Protein backbone atom coordinates (compact mmCIF):
# COMPACT_ATOMS: atom_id res chain seq x y z
CA UNK A 1 0.00 0.00 0.00
CA UNK A 2 2.76 2.48 0.94
CA UNK A 3 4.72 1.75 -2.24
CA UNK A 4 1.61 2.39 -4.32
CA UNK A 5 1.06 5.62 -2.43
CA UNK A 6 4.51 6.93 -3.28
CA UNK A 7 4.09 5.78 -6.88
CA UNK A 8 0.84 7.75 -7.03
CA UNK A 9 2.65 10.86 -5.82
CA UNK A 10 5.40 10.43 -8.40
CA UNK A 11 3.05 9.85 -11.32
CA UNK A 12 1.02 12.89 -10.31
CA UNK A 13 3.96 15.21 -10.92
CA UNK A 14 2.58 15.96 -14.36
CA UNK A 15 -0.81 17.15 -13.11
CA UNK A 16 -1.83 20.54 -14.45
CA UNK A 17 -1.93 23.38 -11.95
CA UNK A 18 -5.43 24.28 -10.78
CA UNK A 19 -6.79 27.75 -11.36
CA UNK A 20 -8.08 30.03 -8.63
CA UNK A 21 -11.66 29.29 -9.63
CA UNK A 22 -13.49 27.06 -7.12
CA UNK A 23 -13.77 23.41 -8.07
CA UNK A 24 -16.91 22.57 -10.00
CA UNK A 25 -19.92 22.16 -7.73
CA UNK A 26 -18.19 23.64 -4.65
CA UNK A 27 -19.30 27.20 -3.97
CA UNK A 28 -17.38 29.44 -1.59
CA UNK A 29 -18.97 29.85 1.82
CA UNK A 30 -20.90 33.10 2.05
CA UNK A 31 -20.31 34.72 4.44
CA UNK A 32 -16.77 33.33 4.86
CA UNK A 33 -16.22 31.08 7.85
CA UNK A 34 -13.32 31.32 10.26
CA UNK A 35 -11.07 28.27 10.69
CA UNK A 36 -8.50 28.42 13.47
CA UNK A 37 -5.43 26.22 13.05
CA UNK A 38 -2.54 25.55 15.43
CA UNK A 39 0.51 24.11 13.70
CA UNK A 40 4.14 23.18 14.23
CA UNK A 41 6.14 25.34 11.74
CA UNK A 42 7.85 22.59 9.73
CA UNK A 43 7.79 21.76 6.03
CA UNK A 44 5.60 18.70 6.56
CA UNK A 45 2.58 21.02 6.71
CA UNK A 46 3.50 22.98 3.59
CA UNK A 47 0.26 22.18 1.75
CA UNK A 48 -1.45 24.45 4.27
CA UNK A 49 1.11 27.21 3.78
CA UNK A 50 0.58 27.13 0.03
CA UNK A 51 -3.21 27.03 0.39
CA UNK A 52 -3.10 30.10 2.60
CA UNK A 53 -0.43 32.10 0.76
CA UNK A 54 -1.82 31.45 -2.72
CA UNK A 55 -5.43 32.26 -1.85
CA UNK A 56 -6.92 28.77 -2.13
CA UNK A 57 -8.58 28.98 1.27
CA UNK A 58 -9.97 32.40 0.37
CA UNK A 59 -11.59 31.21 -2.85
CA UNK A 60 -13.63 28.66 -0.88
CA UNK A 61 -14.83 31.23 1.63
CA UNK A 62 -12.49 30.24 4.46
CA UNK A 63 -10.84 32.79 6.71
CA UNK A 64 -7.99 30.66 8.03
CA UNK A 65 -6.08 31.86 11.07
CA UNK A 66 -2.73 30.11 11.60
CA UNK A 67 -1.09 30.02 15.03
CA UNK A 68 2.36 28.52 15.60
CA UNK A 69 2.89 26.11 18.50
CA UNK A 70 6.02 24.32 19.72
CA UNK A 71 4.66 20.78 19.60
CA UNK A 72 1.63 18.68 18.76
CA UNK A 73 0.91 18.19 22.46
CA UNK A 74 0.22 21.91 22.80
CA UNK A 75 -2.15 21.87 19.82
CA UNK A 76 -4.02 18.83 21.15
CA UNK A 77 -4.87 20.74 24.31
CA UNK A 78 -6.44 23.47 22.16
CA UNK A 79 -8.32 20.88 20.07
CA UNK A 80 -9.82 19.17 23.10
CA UNK A 81 -10.97 22.55 24.41
CA UNK A 82 -12.41 23.39 20.96
CA UNK A 83 -10.49 26.68 20.96
CA UNK A 84 -9.07 25.70 17.56
CA UNK A 85 -10.66 23.78 14.69
CA UNK A 86 -7.64 22.01 13.19
CA UNK A 87 -4.20 21.02 14.42
CA UNK A 88 -1.22 20.49 12.17
CA UNK A 89 0.55 18.08 14.48
CA UNK A 90 2.64 14.98 14.94
CA UNK A 91 0.73 11.88 16.00
CA UNK A 92 1.75 11.72 19.67
CA UNK A 93 0.97 9.26 22.45
CA UNK A 94 -1.58 11.44 24.15
CA UNK A 95 -3.68 11.10 21.00
CA UNK A 96 -3.62 7.29 21.13
CA UNK A 97 -4.62 7.23 24.79
CA UNK A 98 -7.23 9.90 24.17
CA UNK A 99 -8.75 8.01 21.26
CA UNK A 100 -8.92 4.90 23.43
CA UNK A 101 -11.00 6.92 25.89
CA UNK A 102 -13.25 8.37 23.17
CA UNK A 103 -11.44 11.64 22.43
CA UNK A 104 -13.54 13.40 19.80
CA UNK A 105 -10.91 14.52 17.29
CA UNK A 106 -9.96 12.82 14.02
CA UNK A 107 -7.21 12.76 11.41
CA UNK A 108 -8.86 14.42 8.40
CA UNK A 109 -5.90 14.86 6.01
CA UNK A 110 -2.30 13.72 5.76
CA UNK A 111 0.70 15.90 6.31
CA UNK A 112 3.78 15.17 4.24
CA UNK A 113 4.96 11.60 3.80
CA UNK A 114 8.38 10.16 4.40
CA UNK A 115 9.92 9.36 0.98
CA UNK A 116 10.91 5.82 0.09
CA UNK A 117 14.55 6.95 0.00
CA UNK A 118 16.62 10.09 0.68
CA UNK A 119 14.32 11.16 3.49
CA UNK A 120 14.84 14.72 4.80
CA UNK A 121 14.26 13.37 8.32
CA UNK A 122 17.47 11.94 9.71
CA UNK A 123 19.10 10.70 12.88
CA UNK A 124 22.20 12.90 13.11
CA UNK A 125 25.23 12.53 15.35
CA UNK A 126 27.28 15.47 16.56
CA UNK A 127 30.37 15.78 14.38
CA UNK A 128 32.64 16.09 17.41
CA UNK A 129 31.73 12.57 18.60
CA UNK A 130 31.15 10.94 15.21
CA UNK A 131 34.35 8.92 15.62
CA UNK A 132 32.84 7.35 18.76
CA UNK A 133 29.31 6.84 17.39
CA UNK A 134 29.52 4.96 14.12
CA UNK A 135 26.26 2.99 14.31
CA UNK A 136 22.95 3.14 16.12
CA UNK A 137 24.27 0.60 18.63
CA UNK A 138 26.85 3.17 19.77
CA UNK A 139 24.10 5.49 21.00
CA UNK A 140 23.60 3.47 24.16
CA UNK A 141 23.64 5.84 27.13
CA UNK A 142 23.82 8.91 24.91
CA UNK A 143 21.65 12.04 24.85
CA UNK A 144 19.36 12.34 21.83
CA UNK A 145 17.33 15.42 20.95
CA UNK A 146 13.73 14.68 19.97
CA UNK A 147 11.08 17.34 19.32
CA UNK A 148 8.02 16.80 21.49
CA UNK A 149 9.55 14.50 24.08
CA UNK A 150 8.01 11.27 25.40
CA UNK A 151 5.38 9.72 23.13
CA UNK A 152 5.91 12.19 20.31
CA UNK A 153 6.28 11.52 16.61
CA UNK A 154 9.95 12.29 17.03
CA UNK A 155 10.27 9.61 19.68
CA UNK A 156 8.63 7.11 17.34
CA UNK A 157 11.16 7.91 14.61
CA UNK A 158 13.99 7.75 17.13
CA UNK A 159 12.69 4.32 18.20
CA UNK A 160 12.86 3.11 14.60
CA UNK A 161 16.43 4.38 14.30
CA UNK A 162 17.51 2.86 17.60
CA UNK A 163 16.00 -0.48 16.60
CA UNK A 164 18.66 -0.71 13.89
CA UNK A 165 21.18 -1.03 16.69
CA UNK A 166 18.96 -3.36 18.73
CA UNK A 167 18.31 -0.53 21.19
CA UNK A 168 15.11 0.95 22.59
CA UNK A 169 14.32 4.34 24.08
CA UNK A 170 15.15 2.83 27.48
CA UNK A 171 18.79 2.54 26.39
CA UNK A 172 19.29 6.28 25.77
CA UNK A 173 18.46 9.66 27.32
CA UNK A 174 15.90 11.50 25.22
CA UNK A 175 15.99 15.31 25.41
CA UNK A 176 12.93 17.36 24.44
CA UNK A 177 14.24 20.04 22.05
CA UNK A 178 12.06 22.23 19.81
CA UNK A 179 12.76 21.87 16.09
CA UNK A 180 14.18 25.41 15.62
CA UNK A 181 16.59 24.79 18.54
CA UNK A 182 18.04 21.55 17.18
CA UNK A 183 20.97 23.17 15.38
CA UNK A 184 22.12 25.00 18.51
CA UNK A 185 21.75 21.89 20.69
CA UNK A 186 23.98 19.94 18.32
CA UNK A 187 26.48 22.76 17.94
CA UNK A 188 26.92 23.46 21.66
CA UNK A 189 27.20 19.79 22.59
CA UNK A 190 24.16 19.60 24.86
CA UNK A 191 23.14 16.47 22.93
CA UNK A 192 25.11 13.73 21.21
CA UNK A 193 22.57 13.05 18.48
CA UNK A 194 19.30 14.46 17.17
CA UNK A 195 16.26 13.27 15.27
CA UNK A 196 15.80 16.18 12.87
CA UNK A 197 13.46 16.92 9.98
CA UNK A 198 13.44 19.36 7.07
CA UNK A 199 14.77 22.04 6.88
CA UNK A 200 16.71 21.86 10.15
CA UNK A 201 18.63 18.68 9.31
CA UNK A 202 20.05 20.35 6.22
CA UNK A 203 21.06 23.40 8.25
CA UNK A 204 23.04 21.19 10.65
CA UNK A 205 24.68 19.23 7.84
CA UNK A 206 25.56 22.36 5.88
CA UNK A 207 27.09 23.91 8.99
CA UNK A 208 29.27 20.81 9.43
CA UNK A 209 28.25 20.34 13.06
CA UNK A 210 26.49 17.02 12.50
CA UNK A 211 26.72 13.89 10.37
CA UNK A 212 24.09 11.39 9.24
CA UNK A 213 23.98 8.25 11.38
CA UNK A 214 20.70 6.72 10.15
CA UNK A 215 18.24 7.79 7.45
CA UNK A 216 15.14 6.51 5.65
CA UNK A 217 13.76 5.37 8.99
CA UNK A 218 10.14 4.90 7.92
CA UNK A 219 9.73 4.92 4.11
CA UNK A 220 6.28 6.10 3.05
CA UNK A 221 5.09 6.83 6.57
CA UNK A 222 2.86 9.71 7.66
CA UNK A 223 4.11 10.92 11.05
CA UNK A 224 2.17 14.18 11.01
CA UNK A 225 -1.39 15.00 10.05
CA UNK A 226 -4.12 17.58 10.01
CA UNK A 227 -6.47 16.70 12.87
CA UNK A 228 -9.92 18.23 13.20
CA UNK A 229 -11.91 18.71 16.39
CA UNK A 230 -15.17 16.81 16.65
CA UNK A 231 -17.04 20.09 16.94
CA UNK A 232 -15.53 21.36 13.68
CA UNK A 233 -16.12 18.12 11.78
CA UNK A 234 -19.64 17.49 13.05
CA UNK A 235 -21.04 21.01 13.30
CA UNK A 236 -19.31 22.61 10.31
CA UNK A 237 -18.68 19.83 7.80
CA UNK A 238 -18.97 22.26 4.88
CA UNK A 239 -15.96 24.19 6.22
CA UNK A 240 -14.02 20.99 6.92
CA UNK A 241 -14.76 19.79 3.38
CA UNK A 242 -13.41 22.99 1.85
CA UNK A 243 -10.39 23.06 4.13
CA UNK A 244 -9.30 19.59 2.98
CA UNK A 245 -10.19 20.40 -0.63
CA UNK A 246 -7.88 23.43 -0.46
CA UNK A 247 -5.06 21.25 0.96
CA UNK A 248 -5.56 18.81 -1.90
CA UNK A 249 -5.40 21.54 -4.52
CA UNK A 250 -2.24 22.89 -2.88
CA UNK A 251 -0.64 19.43 -2.95
CA UNK A 252 -1.26 19.31 -6.70
CA UNK A 253 0.47 22.67 -7.09
CA UNK A 254 3.60 21.29 -5.40
CA UNK A 255 4.49 18.31 -7.57
CA UNK A 256 7.76 17.90 -9.47
CA UNK A 257 9.51 21.15 -10.38
CA UNK A 258 6.54 23.13 -9.06
CA UNK A 259 7.69 22.29 -5.53
CA UNK A 260 10.18 25.15 -5.91
CA UNK A 261 7.86 27.54 -7.75
CA UNK A 262 8.45 31.13 -6.54
CA UNK A 263 4.93 31.37 -5.10
CA UNK A 264 5.46 28.16 -3.13
CA UNK A 265 8.88 29.23 -1.87
CA UNK A 266 7.27 32.42 -0.58
CA UNK A 267 4.68 30.35 1.28
CA UNK A 268 7.29 28.08 2.86
CA UNK A 269 9.32 31.05 4.09
CA UNK A 270 6.26 32.83 5.46
CA UNK A 271 5.25 29.99 7.76
CA UNK A 272 8.53 28.30 8.74
CA UNK A 273 11.87 29.48 10.09
CA UNK A 274 13.76 28.16 7.08
CA UNK A 275 15.75 29.97 4.42
CA UNK A 276 15.32 29.80 0.66
CA UNK A 277 18.81 28.33 0.30
CA UNK A 278 18.03 25.53 2.78
CA UNK A 279 14.76 24.70 1.02
CA UNK A 280 16.32 24.64 -2.44
CA UNK A 281 19.27 22.50 -1.36
CA UNK A 282 17.30 20.22 0.96
CA UNK A 283 15.52 17.04 0.02
CA UNK A 284 11.94 17.78 -1.13
CA UNK A 285 9.16 16.43 1.04
CA UNK A 286 6.42 14.27 -0.50
CA UNK A 287 2.89 15.68 -0.58
CA UNK A 288 0.49 13.07 -1.90
CA UNK A 289 -1.92 14.58 -4.47
CA UNK A 290 -4.26 11.65 -3.83
CA UNK A 291 -4.38 12.62 -0.12
CA UNK A 292 -4.54 9.04 1.10
CA UNK A 293 -4.25 8.57 4.85
CA UNK A 294 -1.87 5.59 5.32
CA UNK A 295 -3.69 3.72 8.04
CA UNK A 296 -1.27 0.79 8.16
CA UNK A 297 1.56 3.18 8.96
CA UNK A 298 -0.49 4.69 11.75
CA UNK A 299 -1.05 1.19 13.10
CA UNK A 300 2.72 0.68 13.33
CA UNK A 301 3.12 3.97 15.17
CA UNK A 302 0.44 2.96 17.64
CA UNK A 303 2.14 -0.40 18.18
CA UNK A 304 5.57 1.13 18.84
CA UNK A 305 4.22 3.69 21.29
CA UNK A 306 2.21 0.99 23.04
CA UNK A 307 5.23 -1.29 23.30
CA UNK A 308 7.31 1.66 24.56
CA UNK A 309 4.84 1.91 27.43
CA UNK A 310 3.64 5.34 26.35
CA UNK A 311 -0.06 4.51 26.15
CA UNK A 312 -2.52 4.01 28.98
CA UNK A 313 -3.83 0.78 27.47
CA UNK A 314 -2.33 -2.50 26.30
CA UNK A 315 -4.63 -3.82 23.56
CA UNK A 316 -4.38 -2.57 19.94
CA UNK A 317 -6.53 0.48 19.20
CA UNK A 318 -9.44 0.42 16.75
CA UNK A 319 -8.21 3.04 14.26
CA UNK A 320 -11.74 3.98 13.22
CA UNK A 321 -11.66 6.01 16.44
CA UNK A 322 -8.74 8.01 15.07
CA UNK A 323 -9.26 8.53 11.33
CA UNK A 324 -12.00 10.08 9.19
CA UNK A 325 -11.34 9.68 5.46
CA UNK A 326 -14.62 11.33 4.42
CA UNK A 327 -13.10 14.66 3.45
CA UNK A 328 -10.04 13.41 1.56
CA UNK A 329 -12.17 11.01 -0.47
CA UNK A 330 -14.59 13.77 -1.33
CA UNK A 331 -11.75 16.13 -2.31
CA UNK A 332 -10.26 13.59 -4.72
CA UNK A 333 -13.71 12.80 -6.14
CA UNK A 334 -14.25 16.51 -6.71
CA UNK A 335 -10.88 17.23 -8.33
CA UNK A 336 -10.37 13.87 -10.05
CA UNK A 337 -7.51 11.43 -9.66
We report the CATH number of the domain holding residue 228 as: 3.40.190.10
71-85, 123-137, 207-221: which has the minimum mean pLDDT?
Answer: 71-85
pLDDT at 20: 66
Residues 278 and 297 in one domain: yes
Residues 108 and 12 in one domain: yes
Which of 173, 196, 215 terminates a domain? The answer is 215
pLDDT at 153: 80
Residues 101 and 242 in one domain: yes
Q: How many domains in the chain?
A: 2
In the chain the beta strands, taken as DSSP E runs, fall at: 33-39, 62-68, 86-90, 105-110, 122-126, 143-146, 173-176, 193-196, 210-215, 224-229
Residues 201 and 298 in one domain: no
Residues 237 and 331 in one domain: yes
Taking residue 189's Cβ as centre, other Cβ atoms within 10 Å add up to 12
Which of 186, 215, 244 terminates a domain? The answer is 215
Rounded average pLDDT over 228-232:
96
Query: What is the value of pTM for the model shown?
Result: 0.74
Residues 88 and 24 in one domain: yes
Q: Please give the residue that has the higher pLDDT: either 24 or 57.
A: 57
Residues 205 and 226 in one domain: no
Q: With H, G, I as helix, E, B as strand and everything else as coil, classify residue 195.
A: strand
Domain that holds residue 136: 122-215
Residues 20 and 135 in one domain: no
Which of 178, 200, 215 terminates a domain? The answer is 215
Rounded average pLDDT over 310-337:
93
Residues 137 and 37 in one domain: no
Amino acid sequence: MLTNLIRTATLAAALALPTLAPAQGVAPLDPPQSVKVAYVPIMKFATMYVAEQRGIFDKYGLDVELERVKSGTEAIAFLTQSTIDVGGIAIVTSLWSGWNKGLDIRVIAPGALEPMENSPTKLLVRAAVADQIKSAADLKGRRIAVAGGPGSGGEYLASKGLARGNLTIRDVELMNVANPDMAMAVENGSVDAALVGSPFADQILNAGTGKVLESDLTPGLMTVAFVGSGKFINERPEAAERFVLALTEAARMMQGDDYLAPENIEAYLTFTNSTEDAIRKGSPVIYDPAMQIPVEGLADMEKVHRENGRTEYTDPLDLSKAVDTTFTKKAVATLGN
